[in-house]
A and B are shown apart, each in its own frame.
Chain A
Amino acid sequence: GAGVSQSPSNKVTEKGKDVELRCDPISGHTALYWYRQSLGQGLEFLIYFQGNSAPDKSGLPSDRFSAERTGGSVSTLTIQRTQQEDSAVYLCASSFSSSGLAAHGEQFFGPGTRLTVL
């Protein structure tokens, strides 16, 4: 079946503009995650959605960043008034999570969106 897809694959924008990044998770996956990966760096957690629960927004770096997940499926990450330091690859992942020690299902990652802010 299809994996996690993200669009666009590349986005170049001017400083101060708003951008929207889209993630289509694997069908049936209950959890969805957004990460940011700066050049040559590890993955920085941004936000996590689990079913109908309130999202864990603890990783969002500023109030310019927001995300929503509609209908428990597709998610959009929005960055308002982009800054040059927002330039990075934004990765989305999804997983099927249950409960207990087996709760941590494998996170399947999309190919990412490379954002460049000029």
Chain B
Amino acid sequence: GENVEQHPSTLSVQEGDSAVIKCTYSDSASNYFPWYKQELGKGPQLIIDIRSNVGEKKDQRIAVTLNKTAKHFSLHITETQPEDSAVYFCAATQGGAQKLVFGQGTRLTINP
């Protein structure tokens, strides 16, 4: 089955700097890769996703890149702000199915 590894587990950056979170996956048939943000006491919320027919996607300060050959994808947040502090999860589909397999999460802290 699919295995998703996420690094780092914690990340602390100065406000205004960039943050990068990386994930690898094992199932070459995976075709959908969402990123979720989870704030304390709330359910995860989708912030960006990418499908296997695209190498990069950008939405304002957030971008995701996908390298299908190496089976890894990354989240990039630029010009970080205090409200970006949260736990971020990457996920990948198990093959072409609907089921998502999640990484272990990255606790991102933005220092003012």
Contacts and interface: CB of A to CB of B under 8 A. Distances in A.
A93 B42 CA distance: 12
B31 A107 contact: no
Contact of A101 (B51, B91, B99, B105): B51
A83 interface: no
A106 B34 contact: yes
Contacts of B85: none
Contact of B32 (A35, A48, A104): A104
A43 B44 contact: yes
Contact of A42 (B42, B43, B93, B103): B103
Interface residues of A, number: 30
A94 B36 CA distance: 14
B89 A43 contact: yes
Interface residues of B, number: 28
Interface-centre pick from B51, B53, B102, B103 (highest chain A CB count, 10 A): B102
B62 interface: no
Interface stretch (A12-20, A73-81, A108-116): A108-116
Contacts of B41: 111
Given A91-B43, A104-B32, A31 B98 contact: yes
A66 interface: no
A2 interface: no
Interface in A28-49: 31, 33, 35, 40-45, 48
Given A104-B98, A107-B100, A111-B42, 16 more contacts: A4-B43, A33-B98, A33-B100, A43-B44, A43-B102, A45-B100, A48-B98, A56-B99, A97-B98, A104-B49, A108-B46, A109-B36, A109-B44, A109-B45, A111-B41, A111-B43
Interface of B: 6, 31-32, 34, 36, 41-46, 49, 51-53, 89, 91, 93, 96-105
